[in-house]
A and B are shown apart, each in its own frame.
Chain A
Amino acid sequence: MSTSTSQQTGIRTAAGDTVEMTYAEAVRAALAEEMRRDPSVFLLGEDIGIYGGAFAVTRGLFEEFGEERVRDTPISEQAIAGAAIGAALTGMRPVAEIQFSDFMALTMDQLVNQAAKIRYMFGGKAMVPLVLRAPLGSGTGAAAQHSQSQEAWFAHVPGLKVVLPATPADAKGLLISAIRDDNPVVFLEHKLLYRYKGAVPQREYTIPLGKAEVKREGTDLSIIAWSIMVPRALAAAERLAREGIEVEIVDPRTLRPFDEETILASVRKTGHVLIVHEAVQMGGFGGEVAARIAASEAFNYLDAPIRRLAGADTPIPYSPILERAAVPQEDDIYAAALRLVREGI
């Protein structure tokens, strides 16, 4: 394994000082480390205790930290979010798990009208340092009410931060930053990524919120992708490389705050942009990314229109064939990228 240093994060990974772990394990490691470090950090959510969470993310934490700090709640999403706010306002750093991001709809008043606005409404004199973690995304056959990608909902709200890690290393470093952040953070974990493995630094590290990362360098096309679309874009990029097309992949990692500069730098370099996300295209965050590029001087470097590849305009269906067709897959990214570079559309 070679040594590489990420300019954005400063994380140096080399043989010997990383450990291989899954995305779920990385999230768990971040929770455990922060709970050991800071007694004000505690967890609450449905079935996160002895059960270990619907996706087993918190497994083992109940045994280490006990029922006071790994707190099973009734099925009461409004109260989970509200309790996190009340605790955060009075000196704690709660990390609440919402079992599926779809159920964030049930928390929206507490999250949007309360958590996000409290600091501003109170004249900047209060802090709401909480994290709301939730698994999002399709691919598990759970159909329309357990498969959405709603990052754009949250990114539309001033006062919230929105994080979507794509790798185990990012999941751990970003979650630690989210917990230490003094603002409410929505931390969206793709449920298909939970089993993905990757190298995670062994030493303590954090990744700042608001820093994009170039996941792959290239010269012909910039793919802006986040969450599950990062590994899919990386796989497509390997195939495109065999066609002589070198793709650069930029993962913003956080949509709020949003690192525009790293994306614009990539656009200037390649002259082609494909924005890929799983969420429905209409009103999706890709539109914001496209607008930012179009409104910048980087627009002058474009050799082709800005393209978006995103979820179909439909709830996520149950049938495996339809479910796959509803969101971008590796083949779709490959085809869209090839067309954009070869045909300019």
Chain B
Amino acid sequence: MTLPTPSSPQEQNADAESAASLSRHASLGDLGEDFHPDELRQILGTMLRIRAFEEKVDELFMQGAVHGTTHLSIGEEAVPAGALSALRPDDYITSTHRGHGHCIAKGANLDLMMAELLGRETGYCRGRGGSMHIADVDTGNLGANGVVGGGIPIATGVGLSIILRHTEQVCLCFFGDGASNEGTFHEAINMASIWNLPVIFLCENNQYGMSMSVQRATHVHSLADRAGAYGIPGFSLDGNNVFAVRQAVREAAERARAGHGPTLIEAITYRYKGHSKSDQNRYRTRDEIADWKQHDPIEQLSRYLEKRGLLTSEQIEQERMQAYADIEDAYAYAQASPEPKVEALLEGVYA
């Protein structure tokens, strides 16, 4: 595919329009030419595991089997799957409250994730964090974040650390359209820009900050237009197209590793489920949700693979079954895991 050059806002606008229409009306086209079939299968597997994980979590919350709250990213799977497929294992991510997909795409262990959601001692955070704080610092997953926009300055700091340590890593910073209206967005992207830090600011525009639509919350045509305010490249693309996401992140990572600084990418996507478990979807129509489901990222990729003869429908079904089986295994592991001990309440406050 060809990405637009970041030369003018007009071009970015035009691209945003085409990206938005792409997400709703087009198929994946010929964007996957440079993939090895195994890699495509792996990306599909990641997307399927994200969906299976979140469907299971949704089910558990419906049953009241898990306490607290959770934020599901069903419908947005192409963004993390495409983005992380373009990065090195030693690269970093910062994530959001809607972060299960980021975690899985970064290679997290499903057992430890599910154990964390069930508040078990074996979970990633020993049951202290829950859905909104899953992290695995050793593998470069610097954590989900309960504060909208809270991770953006942290990503800038990771970029700073990378250039001070001369490691040629990058930091991929996930955030949503809602976070793009937080002050941290402005301060942190400006700082990353002036220091040419190797950070990829990846905005998952899922159309709503809780109930407020992006059209009501901002007056720019495309959130990628905001890149112009920081003198960095900005791209808006179809976030349900896993190849488009992968390509944009790959190019942004190349620029970052070459010392050319950060990139702002807006991936236009949609969340099928409510903001959290209390959401009754009063701010949008059933038709709107149904329309977006016509352009489901997993369906699009599956159709593409089948049409290209890269995977048979049986193989795709096999991937799907495997994903759901993995999640059931993770749930079994979590259920069998011990609760934290009350005597350990104060452990981990200080190093």
Contact = CB atoms under 8 A, between A and B. Distances in A.
Interface of A: 42, 44, 68-69, 71, 73-74, 76-79, 81-92, 94, 109-110, 113-114, 118-127, 129, 158-159, 161, 181-183
A127 B350 CA distance: 9
B158 A89 contact: yes
Contact of A121 (B143, B159, B162, B191): B143
Nearest to B140: A90
7 contacts: A74-B194, A78-B188, A82-B154, A86-B159, A89-B154, A109-B147, A123-B124
Contacts of A88: 157
B184 A125 contact: no
A1 B165 CA distance: 46
B65 interface: no
Contact of A123 (B129, B152, B161): B129
Given A78-B184, A78-B188, A121-B143, 11 more contacts: A74-B187, A79-B153, A79-B184, A82-B152, A82-B187, A122-B137, A122-B143, A123-B126, A124-B126, A125-B137, A181-B351
Contacts of B187: 74, 76-79, 82
B97 interface: no
A118 B210 CA distance: 24
Given A74-B191, A120-B348, A159-B349, A126 B135 contact: yes
B155 interface: yes
A76 B157 CA distance: 13
Nearest to B142: A89
Interface residues of B, number: 46
Q: Which of B143, B156, B350 has the most CB of A within 10 A?
A: B350
A122 B135 contact: yes
Interface string B319-351: 000000000000000000000000000011111
Contacts of B154: 82-83, 85-86, 89, 110, 114
B270 to A, nearest CB: 28
Nearest to B173: A86
B72 interface: no
Interface in B128-166: 128-129, 133, 135-138, 142-143, 145-147, 150, 152-162, 164-165
Interface string B69-94: 00000000000000000000000101
Contacts of A121: 125, 128-129, 133, 135, 143
A119 B350 contact: yes
B349 A123 contact: no
Nearest to B155: A86
B29 interface: no
A119 B349 contact: yes
Contacts of A114: 145, 147, 150, 154
Q: Which of A74, A86, A110, A161 has the most CB of B within 10 A?
A: A86
B127 interface: yes
Given A85-B153, A90-B158, A158-B349, A79 B142 contact: no
Contact of B137 (A71, A79, A126): A126
A300 to B, nearest CB: 29
B13 interface: no
Nearest to B157: A86
Contacts of A122: 124-125, 128-129, 133, 135, 137, 143, 348
Rank and list the top 9 A-B pairs by shortest CB-CB distance, nearest first: A82-B153, A86-B157, A124-B348, A123-B126, A182-B351, A83-B157, A123-B125, A79-B187, A76-B187
A135 to B, nearest CB: 22
Contacts of B165: 90-92
B233 interface: no
Q: Which of B126, B142, B147, B160 has the most CB of A within 10 A?
A: B160
A259 to B, nearest CB: 15
Contacts of B162: 90
B262 interface: no
B153 A86 contact: yes
B346 to A, nearest CB: 9
A113 B133 CA distance: 12
A79 B161 contact: no
Nearest to A90: B161
Contacts of A129: 351
Q: Which of B153, B162, B194 has the most CB of A within 10 A?
A: B153
